[in-house]
Amino acid sequence: MTGTGRLLGQLGPRTQRVVYGELTQAEIDAELPLMTRVDQAHLVMLAERELISPVAAAKLLRCIDALAAERYAPLLPRPAPRGLYLMYEGYLIEKLGPDVGGVLHSGRSRNDLKATITSLRLRDWLVEFAGQAVRLEAVLLSRARAYQSLVMPAYTHFQAAMPITYGYYLLGIASALGREIDALRFAAAGLQTCPLGAAAVAGTDLPIDSERTASLLGFSGAHPHALDAVASRDVPLRLLAASAGAAIVLSRLATDLQLWSTFEFGLISFPDRLVGGSSAMPQKRNAFLLEHVKAKSGQALGAWAGAAAMMAATPFTNSIEVGTEAMAGIWPGLLAAEQSVLLGQVLVSGARPDGTRMSERAENGFTTATALANRLVRCGVPFRTAHHLVGDAVRQAVEAGSTRLADFGPPGWLDQIGSADLDLSAVVSSHSRGGGPGAFAEPFGRCVEAWTSHRAWLTRWRADIGAARSALAEAAAELSGVVTGREPAP
């Protein structure tokens, strides 16, 4: 069957390639398994509502199953002048005749079909991505606990600032990543309603059961507004924004680790499997994977900006700019964020801190200076005066090539605090207020609770999706039995 009845002509081959691309096995693998899952649910519902005969539904289901078993190979050589779906439907009509193949699209449109496939594809991606992010969260927490006592300097403006621990630093990354997972979880709520049933733009007057198809596809319910269901792609944008947020956190981690792994800092090293050499310089050990992590956030952010720009100022209805062009730009951004998380796992688990070097850098960087000033404050010295005294002593010590502040400054200026020496570990422990490293246990416990919640959310969601797939397979198999003479269960 060619044309639409209203239109008899079709695009030329070159224009078709521009609009629809070249049909490849990769494109088929990405879309048709999801499309046929939607078809199964739709056919079960149509038969249950007596909108099509059980025999027609069964024949379609069996033909679709046969196609899927061949990875849709019979479709590859076929022309697709009006896109993948109509080519696929045309094949079914040719195989089964218009009285059977022609009923598949009853009560729906390519618009709600495409929106539903997009939601399913996003859900599959999100379950995998969130699972990897939660795994990275666990790696960060494990390393944070292992290195909670390993003193190092915190840096501000790339200068040694105050003593912390490497575990405390990693706990901060875990905390930030946990909030991005929370953002993903919030965005995922938009994937709980199913667009199928919205049809072209205003629902349908056929007595379909949208709640039934939603349930069979693993959604919590049908979308309540047909126009919104086909017009909006705000959920993919929010998912991309949240995943880009995770990539940004990891890009900042990667920036620190790259700096700290240089010879000049020497705080971190990586095993040979995680570094690269140089084609010209035999001494090089380049932590190049960190550079990939740093760049992935830019890819994700660029994808969000591009997709949002394509969606802006479009009519609030089904739109090629929104549903096709913008979505095509979103997928590479989601992939970049996913790759960032996967690289983050091996880099965090593979990084090896040098405790001796970290301690030296903390001491040589005068990171206890603020603690020394605060001790003077507790003895009644105004903070600005204490700040000046310690700063002057640091200047003199640097000029003399020393790190002993007690040897500099006014005579006896440290007598009132009892000791000129400040142990690094003791200073770290004393910073127990305001969320400092001395109060490691409380934020660590909160982060573990967050991780536990994230894992439980994913476990429940995976179970719900699996139960829906089983229910759909059972309903479709029961209906398919009509063709072989088996009566469906009452």
Query: Using CA atoms, how far apart are residues 481 and 488, in angstroms rounded to an integer?
Result: 7
pLDDT in the model for residue 488: 45
Short-list 253, 235, 278, CA closest to 351? 253
Asked if residue 226 has pLDDT above 70, the reply is yes
- Cβ neighbors of 26 (< 8 A, separation 6 or more) are none
Across the range 376-403, mean pLDDT stands at 94
Could you give the angle at the alpha carbon of 279 between the alpha carbons of 278 and 280, nearest 5°? 90
* Both structure tokens of 308: 């949002």
In which element (H, E) is residue 268 found?
Answer: strand 268-269
Residue 233 has pLDDT above 80, yes or no: yes
Q: Residue 207: which residues within 8 A CB-CB, separation 6 or more?
A: 49, 51
Beta bridge partners of 154: 162
Distances (CA, A) of 444 to 131, 136, 140, 453: 20, 15, 11, 14
In percent, the amount of the chain with pLDDT more than 70 equals: 96
Check if the beta carbon of residue 215 is closer than 8 Å to that of residue 309.
no
Is the model's pLDDT at 279 over the cut of 70? yes
The pLDDT score that the predictor gives to residue 174 is 98
Q: What is the per-residue pLDDT across 165-188, written as a single tens digit (0 to 9) for each?
A: 999 999 999 999 999 999 999 999
Return the CA Rg of the chain: 31
pLDDT of residue 120: 98
Are 455 and 32 in contact by the 8 Å Cβ rule? The answer is no
Q: How far is it, in rounded angstroms, from Cα 375 to Cα 417?
A: 7
Strands 221-222 and 193-194: parallel
Give the model's pLDDT for residue 483. Answer: 60
pLDDT average, residue stretch 22-28: 83
Number of helices (H) and strands (E) in the chain: give both, helices first. 18, 6
- 1: which residues sit within 8 A by CB, 6+ positions away? 90, 93, 98
Q: Is the pLDDT of residue 82 over 80?
A: no
User: Which segment of 6-10, 174-178, 326-330, 433-437 scores lowest on mean pLDDT?
Assistant: 6-10
Mean pLDDT estimate for the chain: 94
The span from the CA of 362 to the CA of 161, in Å, is 8
List 352's β-bridge partners, or say none.
Answer: 269
Distance CA 344, CA 272 (A): 16
Residue among 110, 314, 349, 121 nearest 231 (CA) = 314
Interatomic CA distance for residues 80 and 69, integer angstroms: 21
Task: Give the span between the Cα atoms of 243 and 229, in whole angstroms.
Answer: 23
Q: Tokens for 43?
A: 């056919």
Cα-to-chain-centroid distance, residue 129: 5
| pLDDT of 64 above 70 | yes
pLDDT at 420: 54
What tens digit of pLDDT does each residue of 321-368 get? 999 999 999 999 999 999 999 999 999 999 999 999 999 999 999 999
Whether pLDDT at 148 is above 60: yes
